[in-house]
A = this chain, B = another copy of it.
Amino acid sequence: MDAMLSDPAFRTYAICVSILAFKMLLSAFYTGSRRQRHQAYINAEDARTFGRQGTTSAEVDSAEVAHALRIQRNDLENIPTFFAVGLVYVLSGASPLGATAYFWTFTVARLVHTVAYMRRIQPLRAICYGVGALCVVGMIVQILLAALRSPTV
């Protein structure tokens, strides 16, 4: 089983999955800190438990919290897809060079995307989104080509 890490493509995948998963945890923490700062709890039970005395829950998320939630939502639309497509790409016989190019480009693009979203920098955020999406499309094309070429006996 250990043999997998000696495959450079899988090793790069493992490192990039780790970085992106950790980033997602930090994004959740960021949302939580917005809630805390603005005392903006959407669940009554959270306002009671974590709010300052007298805090009540809100009908809707405050603008700051909703913005933080959109950062997370954008990750949810993109990163789990990368997890699946990236692994299939590795298991379909990715070259070390291809894996390095796709995985690191995607990872850096999503890290910059988060920072650009937090600081509300456009069109940088949109560009990072596009770069990430293009990495996924590139891997999909290579997976399909490899699947078509592969003989199923």
Known: A5-B147, A144-B18, A147-B5. A122 touches B46 (CB 8 A): yes
A25 within 8 A of B: yes
Residues 45-84 (chain A) with a chain B CB within 8 angstroms: 45-46, 48-50, 66-67, 70, 72, 76-77, 79-81, 83-84
Choice from B5, B91, B125 contacting A92 with Cβ under 8 Å: B5
What total of chain A residues lie within 8 Å of the partner, measured CB to CB?
65
Residues from chain B with a CB closer than 8 A to the CB of A48 are 122
Q: With A1-B7, A45-B121 as known contacts, state yes or no: A85 contacts B133, CB within 8 Å.
A: no
Given known pairs A6-B153, A77-B24, A152-B8, the reply for A15 and B147 (CB within 8 Å) is: yes
By a CB distance below 8 angstroms, the chain B residues around A106 are none
> For window 105-139 of chain A, which residues contact chain B by CB distance below 8 Å?
120-123, 125-126, 133, 136-137
Which residues from chain A sit less than 8 Å from chain B, CB to CB? Answer: 1-2, 4-11, 13-15, 17-18, 21-22, 24-25, 28, 42-46, 48-50, 66-67, 70, 72, 76-77, 79-81, 83-85, 87-88, 90-94, 120-123, 125-126, 133, 136-137, 140, 143-144, 146-147, 150-153
